[in-house]
Structure 1
Amino acid sequence: MEQTVLRGLAGFRWAAWCWMAIVLVLARRALDHPVAAVLLVGAALGITIWVTRLLRRDPGRLCAPAVVGSEVGVALALQLADGFVYRASHVFSGEQPLGVAWPIASVLAAGVAFGPVTGAVTGVVMGAGRAVSSLLHAPAPATEVVLLGLEPVQLLSLLTTTVMYALAGGAGGHAMRLIRASELRMTTAERQLAESRAREDVARRLHDGVLQTLALVERRSDDPRLVALAREQDHDLRRFLFGLPDVSATATLEQDLRAAALRFEQTFDGRVEVLVPDDLPAVPDQVHAALVGAVGEALTNAGKHGRAERVVVYLEPDGDGVFCSVRDDGTGFDPAQVDEGVGLTRSVRGRIDEVGGRVEVDAIPGHGTEIRLRVPARPPSGAPPFSRPVG
């Protein structure tokens, strides 16, 4: 949609330049400085060609300050030179100005690139350029009623031109802002639809596999802890797959981490100590979910692969973010000799990378493993949304 607007603006720019050239030819006898007029109109042609080529090869550069500034500069030069290239009698005579409608394209471009305020301000500047040229080359007033050296009707004409430019820039910027917001909503809707379809596909594949297995464990196991764990995992998986309400949506970071620690203790008969200071900064849901998920996977690895009996989860403020350490007393491993598993690569590193954080792994065979997580208080703008973890 944005490129469609830019293409429409390019068409307007070409049409305006053609009319400007026609007016220049028709009014050539009224020129005092024809060479200057031709050079300025030629500069406008150069800008028009340049912008058109950028539209075809690199549309993203059309909103760059250098491109928009160059166009605005040429348009302002056309406005300021109007009274110079034409005879003095041209001013307020009803004849077309040198730039005609071409400067409006630059005002619209500023609004499209930088928003309605910038567009409106550019329009005011363009109108002021026209006013300065008129004031410097206006003929002597024919009436005694004079404001700023101009007759009231002349002053009203300049104000009308300035308002027209400002409205064009503001309206163009506002329209582009609405278009971009609409594109963002469409992109979000498409992503949500894709996620919903993927969730349904996964739900169909897992319903007759994992969920049935968990239900079988609940019915046939004699171990009450195993039954409780299977039931909890069954409920968690169903909430995720079928979009059921998240019972822990209001849980704090510490509560969710303690819930993950409790699952470790119930599953692996180990002990987890969770240390969270009172001055820990609040984090948004994306960072919250990523941190809890990564810690949960680190605990699972500590019990499943490291056979750890004791794990310490420690958090502290880290600049404008959060530092988290998960240290266990398990068997450890040699990072240089053992490749990282899917859990560490995707569930730990993947989660933390998506919110702009980083992961460090420190492991020694026979002396346990420490996974250090650093996450920002605010994720990058392109980070995907996360649902809050189920505790």
Structure 2
Amino acid sequence: MMGLEVALWRAVAVYRGLALVYAAVVIAANFDGYAHPAAGWGVLAVMVAWTGYAVHAFSDPRRRGWPLLAADLAVATGCVLATVWVETAANIAAGRPTLPVSWVAAAVLAWAVAGGRRLGLTAALVLAAANLLVHVLAGTGRGIGGTTFNGIVLLVLAGLVVGHVVRLAREAEARLARAVELESANRERERLARRIHDSVLQVLAMVQRRGGELGGEAAELGRLAGEQEAALRALIGTSAPAPPRAPDADADLRPLLTAHASASVTVSTPATEVRLPGHAAREVAAAVAAALDNVRRHCGEGARAWVLLEDGPGEVTVSVRDDGPGMAGNRLEEAAADGRLGVAQSIRGRVADLGGEVVIFSAAGEGTEIEMTVPRRPGARPRV
């Protein structure tokens, strides 16, 4: 909201300055025909002084209250009415503009920015009445010309349109701020879901499974663990947005992946360093760990897995392949619908946050391969 407010008041200030220059040109061109030329320059001096003060005063949010708005409208109205004293009745009847010409519209714009179309229309009507009063006081009330009428219409339109646009802009900015807040909260929920899945939920699921196998009191413990797992999954939905992280140093991805090597896991990496931003490297390693955990849980004790790291010119690709039974085509969608978010959050969610993509190849009896591609630069999209 502060950015919009500043931009709107700066726009009004710029208009004041440009309209003042135009008014000065008009007064300089017409002063020799005024009834009181010196008074015309005096009105211009008032306009110059008020423009300088108003630009400074409206730049301070603490001063944008009724006293300043009322003073702004009063000065504009006074400059319009001063036309009766400065100009001749003949010139007024001939359709010459008032002394401040379009400069008075700055007061209408200020009221519209401060309070929307209602206040903008109110200020426009006050100045319209002042324009009409000029002709009445000059004795030319029946000879109101097209110039005066057009000026009044423009003032009314400025108050209505600018006030309406300001209201729409404020509503749009509020909706955008809300959308950003929701997106931030959603990302934090996904991050917490990944962390919980990688630790607490896996332990609870293991306790539930082993308790059921052992029976007796262990079965009751397993049942309680299962209930807590379900309750914890339900709670993964609300959290405060995480504070932004400061960028950290680059890290070599190879040692983070080779740490998973074992008798059943083969890790192949390039001979040279594969560097990523530290946060990105840790997230990729965590996604690989989640994939290997799925192999251990779903493919049996004797299953083998192979991790392959490939270093491309603009992205890094990590593949995790196993020789398990494979998956049915809709297996991942069903798991996500049941609240099992291992692939959806721990793998796809992490890679998506890094601007990358995940491709999964699987067929019954032929194992599963998960291919994760992330860009080297944060926020960049991988090459296709």
Alignment TM-score, normalising by the size of structure 1? 0.53
Which residue of structure 1 aligns with residue 103 of structure 2?
Answer: 102
Mapped to 2, the partners of 1:9 and 1:129 lie a distance apart of: 22
1:211–1:234 contact (8 Å) kept in structure 2: yes
Mapped to 2, the partners of 1:232 and 1:46 lie a distance apart of: 75
Mapped to 2, the partners of 1:226 and 1:135 lie a distance apart of: 94
Does 1:199 pair with 2:176? no
1:124–1:163 contact (8 Å) kept in structure 2: no
Q: Which runs of 5+ in 2 are unaligned?
A: 212-216, 239-384
Alpha carbons of structure 1 residues 230 and 40: separation in structure 2 relative to 1, 3 Å: farther
1:79–1:130 contact (8 Å) kept in structure 2: yes
Which residue of structure 1 aligns with residue 14 of structure 2?
Answer: 11
Mapped to 2, the partners of 1:82 and 1:157 lie a distance apart of: 15
| 3-state SS, counterpart of residue 82 of structure 2 | helix
1:91–1:138 contact (8 Å) kept in structure 2: no
For 1:225-304, what aligned pairs fall within 5 Å after superposition? 230-241=225-236
Which residue of structure 2 aligns with residue 26 of structure 1?
Answer: 29
Mapped to 1, the partners of 2:35 and 2:231 lie a distance apart of: 83
Larger Rg: 2
1:2–1:176 contact (8 Å) kept in structure 2: no
1:40–1:77 contact (8 Å) kept in structure 2: no
Shift of 1:156: 6.3
Alpha carbons of structure 1 residues 173 and 10: separation in structure 2 relative to 1, 3 Å: same
Mapped to 2, the partners of 1:64 and 1:224 lie a distance apart of: 70
Which residue of structure 2 aligns with residue 335 of structure 1?
Answer: none
Which residue of structure 2 aligns with residue 300 of structure 1?
Answer: none
Alpha carbons of structure 1 residues 80 and 225: separation in structure 2 relative to 1, 3 Å: farther
Shift of 1:157: 5.5
| 3-state SS, counterpart of residue 118 of structure 2 | helix
1:2–1:179 contact (8 Å) kept in structure 2: no
Shift of 1:107: 0.5
Does 1:53 pair with 2:67? no
2:95–2:147 contact (8 Å) kept in structure 1: no
Structure 1 residues 256-295: Cα deviation after superposition (integer angstroms, max 9, x where no partner):
xxxxxxxxxxxxxxxxxxxxxxxxxxxxxxxxxxxxxxxx
| 3-state SS, counterpart of residue 77 of structure 2 | helix
Mapped to 2, the partners of 1:43 and 1:237 lie a distance apart of: 70
Does 1:167 pair with 2:157? yes
For 1:94-173, what aligned pairs fall within 5 Å after superposition? 94-139=95-140, 149-151=141-143, 154=144, 158-173=148-163
Which residue of structure 1 aligns with residue 72 of structure 2?
Answer: 71
The letter for the 2-side match of 1:241 is I
Alpha carbons of structure 1 residues 242 and 204: separation in structure 2 relative to 1, 3 Å: same
Mapped to 2, the partners of 1:83 and 1:35 lie a distance apart of: 14
Which residue of structure 2 aligns with residue 180 of structure 1?
Answer: 170
Alpha carbons of structure 1 residues 13 and 228: separation in structure 2 relative to 1, 3 Å: farther
| 3-state SS, counterpart of residue 98 of structure 1 | coil
Shift of 1:124: 0.8
| 3-state SS, counterpart of residue 94 of structure 2 | coil
| 3-state SS, counterpart of residue 96 of structure 1 | coil
Alignment TM-score, normalising by the size of structure 2? 0.54
Shift of 1:171: 0.7
Shift of 1:62: 6.4
| 3-state SS, counterpart of residue 129 of structure 1 | helix
Alpha carbons of structure 1 residues 209 and 38: separation in structure 2 relative to 1, 3 Å: same
Aligned residues between the structures: 230
Shift of 1:159: 4.4
200-209 vs 28-37, greater mean Cα deviation: 28-37
2:204–2:225 contact (8 Å) kept in structure 1: yes
| 3-state SS, counterpart of residue 98 of structure 2 | coil
93-102 vs 215-224, greater mean Cα deviation: 215-224
Alpha carbons of structure 1 residues 201 and 55: separation in structure 2 relative to 1, 3 Å: farther
| 3-state SS, counterpart of residue 26 of structure 1 | helix
The letter for the 2-side match of 1:239 is A
Shift of 1:43: 2.5
1:32–1:87 contact (8 Å) kept in structure 2: yes
Mapped to 2, the partners of 1:232 and 1:109 lie a distance apart of: 61
| 3-state SS, counterpart of residue 27 of structure 1 | helix
Mapped to 2, the partners of 1:4 and 1:199 lie a distance apart of: 34
Mapped to 1, the partners of 2:26 and 2:145 lie a distance apart of: 24
Shift of 1:111: 0.6
2:95–2:148 contact (8 Å) kept in structure 1: no
Identity of aligned residues (%): 30
Mapped to 2, the partners of 1:123 and 1:202 lie a distance apart of: 55
Alpha carbons of structure 1 residues 231 and 47: separation in structure 2 relative to 1, 3 Å: farther
Alpha carbons of structure 1 residues 225 and 49: separation in structure 2 relative to 1, 3 Å: farther
Mapped to 1, the partners of 2:223 and 2:146 lie a distance apart of: 82
Which residue of structure 2 aligns with residue 298 of structure 1?
Answer: none
Mapped to 2, the partners of 1:236 and 1:54 lie a distance apart of: 57
Mapped to 2, the partners of 1:135 and 1:24 lie a distance apart of: 22
Shift of 1:12: 1.3
Shift of 1:97: 1.4
